[in-house]
Chains A and B, each alone.
Chain A
Amino acid sequence: MAKDKPPTPRGETRRKFLVRTMQAIGISIVGGVVWGAFVKENTYDPLVIRPPGALPGDEFLKKCIKCGLCVEACANRPSVPYEGGKKKVTLRLATPGDNKPLGTPYFIPRDVPCYMCEDIPCVPACPTGALEPDLVSTLKDGQKKLDITKARMGVAVIDQKNCIAYWGLRCDACYRVCPLLDKAIYIEVYRNPRTGKHAFMVPKVDPDHCTGCGLCEHACVTEKAAIFVLPRDIALGRAGKHYMKGWEEQQPQEAPERIRGLGHESVENYLNTEDLLNE
């Protein structure tokens, strides 16, 4: 082949090389931008509810190998409920069209909630550590034990406008179904001033205990659930460190330096003693 070619003029090889190089760089940049945008778009979903022990956000996406072993561990339980002859499996892998990060496990509590298996089969099944056992373990007698109550898949939020218990109707479906009854969901009772003789018995969520399993959302009697699970970093606020709960004993130790040094009296008067305007 090489023999048939006429001798290359000076510089042509170099020119060819430079053009090829530029072409390759061009293709890389265009391809990289398109590909990168696609991946980013594909992985953006702040509202996805993950299995127990899932690492937070991007850390999870980094480690999840999309093998579905957690999904299979979840599906192949003897206790998996059947409905209409079909297995009701909590976890599913996102397929194209689900608008979730492709191939990653998630669940939709209103369809099938997490049943909070005590041995948490999905977590040890994960080969990469995207589901981290340490996040759902407690120390018992010096041994780490899986503890599903440690799970923080999300947190239940109540729409008080549309929850019929807040209307004064009698409903405690979410409260009764909650695996951490009286801890994650409790009932608060107060007088109904409209009738003057009835009580409101309203459900409340304690985010410190709620695992985000979604059994409440699944059980909610309203047409569209008035209690629903959201990812914790979406649903929960943060007051900031400069707010203190003076009525909780350990608080003074966590107070800022400026206040901690002062005596009891000066703490009460610190707004007066300090020259705040000239600060």
Chain B
Amino acid sequence: MSEERVGPLRYLYKHRFLILRRISQLTIMVLYIGGNIYGWKILQGNLSSSRFLDLVPLADPFAVLQMFFAGAIVGVDALVGALIILAFYAFVGGRAFCSWVCPMNVVTDFANWLRVKTNIHREEWQLRITRKTRYLALTLALVLSFILAMPAFEYVSPISILHRGLIFGMGLGWTMVLAIFLFDLFVIKNGWCGHVCPLGGFYSLVTKPSLIRVNYNKDRCTECMECVKICPESQVLHMVGKHSSIVNSGECINCGRCVEVCNDDAIYFTLRFKKEEVSHETK
């Protein structure tokens, strides 16, 4: 159906989730900045903990978990906020935080885009580390929080540094952001978000049951592999060309890039329990 569209309309259609994601990231950022500078009551605070509409507390569940490991009994607001966020991503959104909210996503996507455009770094030069490194980082974050009695990742987190920096003033925080950018550009493709980030690892573990899922339908697939090429977590698309299935891994960030690039409508967003017309054929 997308073949009918031509020119700019087609371009928009082929990038619809990318555009929506950038709008989402930008809107959230603007609301936070307005919250600080002009006192808007829509989103106050930052991604670590905030108040929505001056009423609903929101908090980063991983930060609260680290505090728990550090031996702190945090206040009710932070606890409730963490549960709200956790429940939303775990049962509805999946790892959408990483692709729709996190400001670092813009940086790493830019590094990736540049990498593709300029071929600046060839595959064979790439440092190879396992994507499981993030779970190691996650474990270390909790162990260190326990040993040092303070939330360990929160003190080094480039996500927080970037997001706080944009709202409250950057200081030398840009060096950290640059470091991540160069790491993704020269060292490993999708290095930070896909391999190292413990927050991504945390969401990977807890968002497995989420409702919104990418679905792959083998019957429509022509195996062009565009989806696997573009996917920042390509290991979650292991079923492409093999069998129809929803993307069940928590590591999928629900960014929708695979949906956009698929010219055969073989990949699309769906709800976990929705009955598929072809689900009985292949499993």
Partners in one complex: yes
Contact between A61 and B164, CB atoms less than 8 A apart: no
A129 within 8 A of B: yes
Q: Which residues of B contact A43 (CB under 8 A)?
A: 150, 155
Of residues 58 through 72 on chain A, the ones whose CB sits less than 8 Å from some CB of chain B are 58-59, 61-63, 65-69, 71-72
Contact indicator A72/B45 (Cβ below 8 Å): yes
Which residues of chain B from 1 to 52 have a CB within 8 Å of any chain A CB?
Answer: 35-39, 44-46, 48-51
> Separation in Å of the B233 CB from the closest CB of chain A?
20
Instruction: Kindly identify which residue among B60, B144, B161 contacts A65, using a CB–CB cutoff of 8 Å.
Output: B60
A127 adjacent to B77 (CB under 8 Å) = yes
Instruction: Write out, one digit per residue, whether chain A residues 16-41 have a CB within 8 A of any chain B CB (1) or not (0).
Output: 00000000100110011001101110
- The stretch from A89-97, A147-155, A211-219, A253-261 touching chain B is A89-97
- CB-based nearest B residue for A127: B77
Q: Taking A67-B50, A95-B168 as contacts, is the C-beta distance between A103 and B71 under 8 angstroms?
A: no
Residues of A within 8 A of B64 (CB): 65
A24-B136, A63-B67, A65-B64 known; A71+B150 contact, CB < 8 A: no
Which of B37, B46, B156 is the one whose CB lies under 8 Å from A39? B156
Give A31 to B39 CA distance when docked, in angstroms: 40
Bound state CA distance, A62 and B49, in angstroms? 15
A97 to B36, CA, bound (A): 21
- B160 on the interface (CB 8 Å rule)? yes
Q: Which residue of B lies closest to A35 (CB)?
A: B144
Residue contact A67 to B46, C-beta cutoff 8 Å: yes
**Contact across chains for A102 and B161 when beta carbons are under 8 A apart:** yes
* Chain B residues positioned under 8 Å from A103 (CB to CB): 48, 154-155, 160-161, 164
A32 to B167, CA, bound (A): 30
- Residue on B nearest A91 in the bound complex, by CB: B168
- A75 to B154 alpha-carbon distance, docked (Å): 24
- Contact assessment for A66 and B74 in the assembled complex, using a CB-CB cutoff below 8 Å: no
| B70 A69 Cβ-Cβ under 8 A | no
Q: Which of B70, B72, B144, B152 has the most CB of A within 10 A?
A: B72
CB-defined contacts of A58 to chain B, threshold 8 Å: 149-150
What is the interface residue range for chain A against chain B?
35 or more
Residues on B with C-beta less than 8 A from A129 are 73-75, 78
B57 at the interface (CB under 8 A from A): yes
Which of B89-97, B118-126, B170-178 lies at the interface with chain A?
B170-178
**In the complex, which residues of chain A have a beta carbon less than 8 angstroms from the beta carbon of B63?**
65
Partner of B140, one of A31, A76, A101: A31
- Say whether B165 faces chain A, with CB atoms less than 8 Å apart: yes
Name the residue in B136, B154, B165 with the highest tally of chain A Cβ atoms < 10 Å from its Cβ: B154
Most chain-B CB neighbours within 10 Å: which of A38, A58, A68?
A: A68
Q: Is B107 an interface residue, CB under 8 A from the partner?
A: no
Chain A, residue nearest B175 (CB): A96
Is A98 an interface residue, CB under 8 A from the partner?
Answer: yes
Report A167-199 CB contacts with B as 1/0, cut-off 8 Å.
000000000000000000000000000000000
Cβ of A222 under 8 Å from chain B: no
How many Å lie between the Cα of A94 and that of B180 in the bound state? 21
Q: Does B50 lie within 8 Å of A69, measured CB to CB? A: yes
Interfacial chain A residues near B150, Cβ < 8 Å: 39, 43, 58, 61-62
- Give residues 197-229 of B contacting A (CB, 8 Å): none
Assess whether A162 is interfacial by the CB under 8 Å rule. no
Given contacts A40-B148, A96-B175, A96-B176, contact A68 B36 (CB under 8 A): yes
Q: Enumerate B155-198 residues with CB–CB distance to A below 8 Å.
A: 155-156, 160-161, 164-165, 167-173, 175-176
Docked-complex contact A68 and B77, CB < 8 angstroms: no
The interface residues of chain A lying within 8 Å CB-to-CB of B35 are 72
A266 within 8 A of B: no
Q: Which residue of B lies closest to A101 (CB)?
A: B155
The reply to whether A95 and B170 form a contact with Cβ atoms under 8 Å apart is yes
Complex Cα distance A60/B74, Å?
11
> Do B165 and A127 touch (CB < 8 A)?
no
By the criterion CB–CB under 8 Å, are A36 and B144 in contact? yes
Are A72 and B67 within 8 A (Cβ)? Answer: no
Instruction: Enumerate chain A residues within 8 angstroms of B39, measured Cβ to Cβ.
Output: 72, 75-76
CA distance A63 to B72 in the complex (A): 6
* Contact between B44 and A36, CB atoms less than 8 A apart: no
Contact B148 A102 (CB under 8 A): no
Residue from the list A62, A65, A72, A94 in contact with B149, Cβ < 8 A:
A62
- CB B82 to nearest CB in A, in angstroms, measures 9
Q: Are A96 and B44 in contact (CB under 8 A)?
A: no
**Chain B residues near A31 (CB-CB < 8 A):** 136-137, 140
Seed contacts A95-B173, A102-B156, A128-B77; 9 additional CB < 8 Å A-B pairs: A35-B152, A66-B164, A67-B59, A68-B46, A68-B164, A69-B44, A92-B168, A101-B155, A128-B78
9 contacts between A and B (CB under 8 A): A28-B140, A36-B144, A39-B150, A61-B150, A65-B64, A95-B173, A101-B155, A102-B161, A127-B81
Q: Which of A's residues lie within 8 Å of B, judged by CB? A: 24, 27-28, 31-32, 35-36, 38-40, 42-43, 58-59, 61-63, 65-69, 71-72, 75-76, 92-98, 101-103, 126-129
